[in-house]
A and B are shown apart, each in its own frame.
Chain A
Amino acid sequence: MTSFAPIPGLIGGVLIGLSAVILMLGIGRVAGISGIVANAMVGSDATDRPWRLAFILGLPLGAILVTALGLKDWSNVTFPATMTMTAIAGLFVGVGTTLGSGCTSGHGICGLSRLSNRSIVATATFMASGAATVFIVRHLI
C-alpha cells in the first residue's frame, strides 16, 4: 500500500512542468519522453541525437541528486509485476507509445497543456485501458 501524498506530488509535478518549460524555452522542443528516446535511436536526423541523449542521461541524474540531498526514501519503492509480466509490459509500452506518438509526458503534460485534441484522446485512452488492465489483474484474475 502507498499513502496519498498530495504535497510531494504537487512539488514533483511542478518540477516536471518546469522541465517542459526549460526544454521549450531553451531549444524549442516538446518534453515527450517516448519520442525523445525513440528518435535518439532511430531518428532520421543524426545531428538531432545529442540533445536527446543528454536529456535521457539527466533523468537518473535527477534521481541521484534528490537522493543525495536526503529527499528520497527508496525503501517503499516496489515492483509488483513478475519478471515475465514486466517484459511484456515493456514491449507494449514501447510499441504503444511509438504507434500512439507519445506517453504520459508528451500527451499527458505537454499536449494537454496546449489543449491538443490528439493528446486529449490519447490521454483518456491510456488512462482508461490502464485502469481496465489493473482492474482485471487485481480484481478479476
Chain B
Amino acid sequence: MTLIYSLLAGVVFGAGLTISDMVNPARVLNFLDFAGHWDPTLMFVMAGGLAVTAIGYRVIFRRGSALTGESFQLPTQRQIDLPLVGGSALFGVGWGLAGICPGPALTDLVTLEPKVLVFVAAMLIGMIATALWRDKMRPMESAGRLVERI
C-alpha cells in the first residue's frame, strides 16, 4: 500500500504542476520578474496548495498514525542556521537563472528537452556531492564539540 499511496501522490503532484503550467520555466521566471511583465500565477498555485495542505494536515494530525500504521515523520529542527539561509539563497539563485525547481524539473522529463536532462543531471550531482560532504563533516563537527566540552 505504501507504494500505491506514494505513486498516487506523485501522479497528483505532477498533474498539478502541469495544469498550473508551473512546468513552464518562462512562466516561473515571469513570476520572479517584478520589474517586468509580472505574472502572478505562481502565487495562486501556492495559495491553493497552502489552503488544502494547512486544512488537510490539521485534520490528519488528529489521527495517531498514517493509514499504513506509520507514525507521522515531521522535521524536528527549529534553529535558523547558516546552512538553511545560505542553502535557500543559493537555491533561489539557481531557480532564478533557469526558472526550474526540483518538482517541475522531474515532471518536465516528459518533454525530452535536452536542457531538462542537463538540469536534472546537474541537480542530482549537486545533491549527492552535498549530502556526502555533509555526512563527512558531521563526525568532525561532533568531535570538535566534544573537545570543546572537555
Pair A79/B18 contact, Cβ less than 8 Å: no
Pair A113/B98 contact, Cβ less than 8 Å: no
B5, B70, B77 pick with most chain A CB within 10 angstroms: B5
Pick from A27, A78, A80, A122: contact of B66, CB under 8 Å: A27
Closest chain A residue, CB of each to CB of B52 = A17
Classify the interface of chain B: helix, strand, loop or mixed: helix
Which residues of B line the A interface, CB within 8 A?
1-3, 5-27, 29-30, 32-37, 39-54, 56-57, 60, 63, 65-68, 70-75, 77-80, 83-103, 105-111, 113-116, 118-132, 134-135
Pair A30/B75 contact, Cβ less than 8 Å: yes
Pair A60/B14 contact, Cβ less than 8 Å: yes
Pair A54/B10 contact, Cβ less than 8 Å: yes
Known: A21-B57, A38-B131. A95 touches B126 (CB 8 A): yes
> Complex: how many Å from CA A109 to CA B50?
5
- Which are the 5 A-B pairs with shortest beta-carbon distances? A58-B10, A94-B126, A12-B20, A62-B14, A13-B48
> Complex: how many Å from CA A1 to CA B112?
22
> Complex: how many Å from CA A125 to CA B23?
22
Q: In the assembled complex, how far is the CB of residue A72 from the closest CB belonging to chain B, in whole angstroms?
A: 5
